[in-house]
């Protein structure tokens, strides 16, 4: 693999491609405060913490640093990402159609797509491990014929930032700011690389759902999961939050950068690997356009106190 290919892999391997410009899709399908999620919230006192990192293994272009003191007020945050079951309650109550449904397609990791459908699905040139699959959406995450019937406790995926904010509007919630997300994900630890400390696998025990093996060819699934894991998999952090590292990227409020073109995501996903994209570190961040969706992006919500 040449330097240019390595750079492209590092920048986009676990970060899904952006949806090409395709016009405006209506997402104001629900009224605010019509429903509430059924999973528990963790109430956090807020305070001042050291946000960001000076980690040499990080991605300076993502503006992970500098380390700076940031103060957040008290808030409550989901212990778990929003599940397929919770999202189904929202859809059943409102008739909401996600942007993946309205556009007619979304990005699916190529190895999860059945052979014939994989051949028919276009792939981004710089990230050929993704397929733009027609008919894929949150209830059919690998395309037509797939289902989430046995994945009710898995995080909902194929939801755009706009979809996530529509859910929040219905639930009387909002997305966390990046500062709130990082404060919560750190679980009270100061400048640790991960929510549980500095060692990725303390005592040889896996703490999160990420890629093991050689990406994108072979995943050994040593952590027990190839795709998404249940939202309560692994041990929670010091604040009682589950899977803030790995499993699925989580949309956050605000903009990723000053150009206001993309929305931030935190936490990494099951496609991240420490050899090329260790963005499951607490301070790591990436972004995507607000209408983009894929099989490794979800969200959790926040309630104001």
Distance from CA of residue 108 to its chain's centroid? 14
Question: What is the structure's pLDDT at 1?
Answer: 31
The region that residue 188 occupies, defined by phi over 0 for left and psi between -120 and 50 for alpha, beta otherwise, is left
**In the predicted structure, residue 13 carries a pLDDT above the cut 60:** no
Percentage of residues of the chain with pLDDT beyond 70: 89
Residue 24 has pLDDT above 80, yes or no: no
pLDDT digits (tens, 9 = 90+) for 156-182: 999 999 999 999 999 999 999 999 999
Per-residue pLDDT band for 30 (boundaries 50, 70, 90) equals: low
Tens digit of each residue's pLDDT (9 = 90 or more) over 231-287: 999 999 999 999 999 999 999 999 999 999 999 999 999 999 877 788 999 999 999
CA 222/CA 219 separation, integer angstroms: 8
- Cβ proximity of 250 and 299 under 8 Å: yes
Domain ranges of the chain: 38-95+153-304
- Whether the per-residue pLDDT at 10 is higher than 70: the answer is no
User: 38-95+153-304: which CATH number, 1.25.40.10, 3.40.50.300, 3.20.20.140, 3.90.1580.10?
Assistant: 3.90.1580.10
Percent of the chain with pLDDT over 90: 79
H-only helix segments in 173-253: 178-186
Q: What is the mean pLDDT of the chain?
A: 91
The mean pLDDT value for 211-224 works out to: 94
**4-13, 141-150, 219-228, 251-260: least confidently modelled range:** 4-13
User: Can you give the pTM of this predicted structure?
Assistant: 0.91
């Amino acid at each position: 693999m040449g330097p240019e290919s390595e750079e492209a892999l590092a920048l986009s391997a676990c970060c899904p491609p952006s949806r090409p410009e395709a016009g405006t899709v209506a997402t104001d399908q629900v009224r605010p405060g019509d429903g509430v999620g059924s999973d528990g919230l963790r109430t956090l006192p807020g305070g001042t913490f050291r946000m960001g990192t000076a980690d040499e293994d990080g991605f300076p272009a993502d503006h992970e640093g500098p380390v700076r003191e940031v103060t957040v007020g008290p808030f409550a945050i989901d212990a778990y990402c929003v599940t397929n079951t919770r999202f189904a309650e929202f859809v059943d109550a409102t008739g909401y159609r996600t942007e993946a449904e309205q556009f007619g397609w979304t990005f699916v990791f190529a190895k999860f797509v059945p052979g014939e459908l994989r051949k028919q699905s276009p792939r981004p040139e710089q990230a050929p491990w993704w397929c733009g699959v027609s008919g894929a959406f949150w209830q059919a995450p690998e395309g037509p014929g797939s289902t989430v019937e046995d994945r009710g406790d898995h995080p909902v995926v194929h939801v755009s930032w706009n979809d996530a904010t529509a859910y929040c509007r219905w639930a009387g919630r909002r997305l966390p700011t990046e500062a709130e997300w990082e404060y919560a994900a750190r679980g009270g630890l100061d400048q640790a690389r991960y929510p549980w400390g500095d060692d990725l696998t303390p005592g040889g025990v896996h703490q999160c759902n990420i890629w093991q093996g050689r990406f994108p060819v072979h995943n050994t699934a040593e952590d027990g999961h190839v795709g998404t894991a249940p939202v309560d998999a692994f041990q929670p952090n010091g604040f009682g939050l589950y899977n803030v590292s790995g499993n699925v990227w989580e949309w956050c409020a605000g903009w990723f950068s000053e150009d206001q073109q993309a929305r931030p995501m935190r936490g990494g996903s099951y496609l991240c690997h420490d050899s090329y994209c260790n963005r499951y570190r607490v301070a790591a961040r990436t972004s995507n356009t607000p209408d983009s969706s894929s099989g490794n992006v979800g969200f959790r919500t926040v309630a104001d106190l």
